[in-house]
Amino acid sequence: MIPLMSVEQFLSRVPAGAILPIGEEGQPDAARIETALRQATGVIVAHLPWLLDEAGEIGRPVNPQFSDALEAVCADLALDRLTDAVTGSENVRNKYKESLALLEKINREYQGGLEGPGCQESEVVISGQEGIPDGRFFKKGTVF
């Protein structure tokens, strides 16, 4: 799976003072960072499967409503993967938890705020035309 962001984009978002794995040249280890970014992208896709296209990759461009938030989440998750219990701080672990909560919130918002049993798909209906599938879900109920 192609990572949601590049190594260069990740390095531009890393806070100063973060301890990253170093390669042979004394620079951040790009291979390990890319692996962490791929893993972080996998976590994002596990929470938001509707991001995938037919080829099994994240559809590009990512919906502008979520793109900046998803890049921030990807960076936070990758940073957590790159740090261990000794070099990682409590802030990194808290950001990881907050990132997962944000993914769940994005999923609820995308699906109309509701998901699970007892929900039905909605359609956008324009007067005199056939409905267009909306992709969101709403509780079944009685219309008065």
**Which pLDDT belongs to residue 128?**
63
- Segment 93-131, tens digit of pLDDT: 788 888 888 888 888 777 654 444 444 555 555 666 665
Per-residue pLDDT at 118? 46
C-beta neighbour count of 99 within 10 angstroms: 23
Residue corresponding to tokens 């709403």: 138
Count CB-CB contacts under 10 A for residue 28. 17
CA distance readout (Å), 136 to 71, 72, 108? 23, 25, 9
Is this prediction's pTM over 0.75?
A: no
10-residue averages of pLDDT along the chain (144 residues): 91 83 86 93 89 82 82 90 67 82 82 49 59 54 48
Give me the pLDDT at residue 115, please.
45
Check residue 117 and give its pLDDT: 42
| Residue 37 near residue 10 (C-beta atoms within 8 A) | yes
Cβ-contact 105, 70 below 8 angstroms: no
User: 73 by DSSP, 3-state: which?
Assistant: helix
Asked if 10 and 21 touch (Cβ cutoff 8 Å), the reply is no
pLDDT of residue 65: 77
